[in-house]
A and B are shown apart, each in its own frame.
Chain A
Amino acid sequence: MNGTPMLQVKDLAKRFPPRSRDEEAPWILADLSFDVADGEFLTMVGPSGAGKSTLLNIIAQVDNASGGEVFFRGQLIETANGAGLNPGWNCQIGYITQDDNLLPWRTLIDNVTFPLKLQGRFDDEAKRRVDELLRVTNLKGFEHYYPHELSGGMRKRASVIRTLAYDPPIILMDEPFGSVDAQTRTQLQQDLLRLWNLGRKTIVFVTHDIGEAISLGDRVLVLSKSPAKIVAAHAIGIKRPRDLGNLYKLDGFGDMFEAVRRQIQ
């Protein structure tokens, strides 16, 4: 791992769009700063509505910031000016949103291969990679189904491998497992860790579930209420591979959980 962090966020700030000319718009994010190292699985936890999605939108460059800077691999990214946005930063960023956002008019396989085909990178190696991803997530055999015919968990998995298929070095995840039931969620978390182990990408995982944040991440950042800023950072010492089902039994898990919970208030 070289010295330059994969992602650096410095004093990021974002306001709501003003309602009228005289009113001062409130801040969504203020003085947000953190680094993400290459290959790190970083989780961020904060209360709902704290601006977590906004933060990720800015990093992915689908939204612009009101102030502050973002660096990818040491390179400054222009985020303040809407016209200068480069969403996805030339396909170096993966973004897995809360809703699966599979294009409903495309079959499963068409959705998963869509980014690759768009980028003109759908060669044999990519085909093999897609095949492997489908196998690992138990989606083989469902390639020609439309999203509405698949279960929520399957759609979720499909949206994850859609991003993994084009192999971006850094992946942003916005409460990806929030909309599925508890059993599916645990299964998906296991799948995610397994997939992550294959390539050790840099992941920024945002959630409001403290247990999830601690279970999955190398490091947990705690966000405050709006206007959001980092209030604490915890390094997770639990060794990998992790047994998600029994993590809560480990020493120190409960204390960490409690500490984070108090910090979120």
Chain B
Amino acid sequence: MPLSRATDIRRHGALRRPRRRGLDAERRRVLIDRTIAIIIVIALWQGCSIYFGTIWFSSPWLVFTRFIDEVQSGDLVFQASYTLSAAFYGALLGGVPGALLPFALRRHPVAGAIFDPYFTGGYGVPKLALAPLFILWFGIDLEPKIALVASIVFFLVFFSTTAGVNAVNAQYVNIVRVFGAKERDIARHVVWPGAIPYVFAGFRIAAPYSIGAAVVGELISSNRGLGFMINSGATDFDTSIVFVGLVTLTLLVVVINLLVARAERWLLRWRPPQQGMSTRVVGA
């Protein structure tokens, strides 16, 4: 549920305050509030930096200038692309089978029933805790990170797609059958379009986790990537680069979320507007 609902709470809860007139005034006020909030956060940061020392906290200015440096030198893009490629390829490798398998299982319900506890079990296995195992098996380069991300994304997308396939509207299936649809037509024209929102939800939830998993892989063993950048920075007491890395990661996740939401909105434009759709996802 978007926090703009809080505006309703404000309108109803603050019975004593006079009602503001006009939406523009309200929007301006929110903007001013948010700017003040950001300034306060930066000021607090600067305060911690002064009080505890830049070696522990760096400082807003230091991080900012370091960020610019890294971008200009191309180093940030280099590291970020490493992390991103691990996340992206892993998401593809895990997400595509995760999205397709439920459709196959739908036609073979007995097989689905047999494998069901194994899928649930596999979902429950803490993949991140098995990261060293992946590294042992696949080496220390990009492969283990891709494998790690894939293993996580697979289960997320699999279960959400399964929910979508199971939620298929039986009435649609019946009516389409009366029109003369065969099994393949049903899968193509009813089950698949009906399940797409769920597939998307799976990817939307998986997106921040893919980045997180790639970072964990890098933290444990890597010589490239944002996780590596953060780790080596911490080891060298180079706090500025640590914060640069953290900020970059946050930006990446936010941007990816936005892109996925945008893609979803376009692909699913046939959907009636949803109430209380949460666009927020908790990162790993």
Contacts and interface: CB of A to CB of B under 8 A. Distances in A.
Physical contact A–B (CB less than 8 Å)? yes
Interface of A: 57, 60, 62, 87-88, 90-91, 93-95, 97, 99, 101, 103-106, 114-115, 118-119, 146-148, 166
Contacts of A90: 180
Nearest to A89: B178
Contacts of A91: 179-180
Contacts of B179: 88, 91, 114-115, 118-119, 166
B185 A146 contact: no
B138 interface: no
A95 B272 contact: no
B189 interface: yes
A115 B177 CA distance: 10
Interface in B144-189: 171-172, 174-181, 185, 189
Given A97-B171, A118-B176, A118-B180, 9 more contacts: A57-B174, A87-B177, A91-B180, A95-B178, A101-B175, A105-B193, A114-B179, A119-B180, A166-B179
19 contacts: A60-B178, A62-B177, A87-B174, A88-B178, A88-B179, A97-B175, A101-B171, A103-B172, A105-B193, A105-B194, A105-B196, A114-B176, A118-B176, A119-B180, A146-B269, A147-B270, A148-B270, A148-B271, A148-B272
B85 to A, nearest CB: 33
B108 to A, nearest CB: 16
A94 B172 CA distance: 14
Given A101-B171, A103-B189, A62 B178 contact: yes
Interface of B is mostly: helix
A103 B179 CA distance: 13
Nearest to A116: B179
10 pairs of A and B residues whose beta carbons are closest in the complex: A88-B178, A87-B177, A148-B272, A115-B179, A105-B193, A62-B174, A146-B270, A105-B270, A95-B178, A91-B180
A118 B181 contact: yes
Interface of B: 171-172, 174-181, 185, 189-190, 193-194, 196, 269-272
Contacts of A101: 171-172, 175
Contacts of B178: 60, 62, 87-88, 93-95
A198 B272 CA distance: 35
A261 to B, nearest CB: 30
Contacts of A118: 176, 179-181, 185, 189
A88 B180 contact: yes
A12 B176 CA distance: 25
A147 B189 CA distance: 16
A233 B266 CA distance: 53
A118 B171 CA distance: 18
Contacts of B177: 62, 87-88
B175 A95 contact: yes
Central interface residue in A91, A105, A106, by most chain B CB within 10 Å: A105
Contacts of A104: 270-272
Contacts of A94: 178
Contacts of B271: 104, 148
Contact of B171 (A60, A99, A105, A119): A99
Nearest to A115: B179
B187 to A, nearest CB: 13
Contacts of B194: 105
Contacts of A115: 179-180
B181 to A, nearest CB: 6
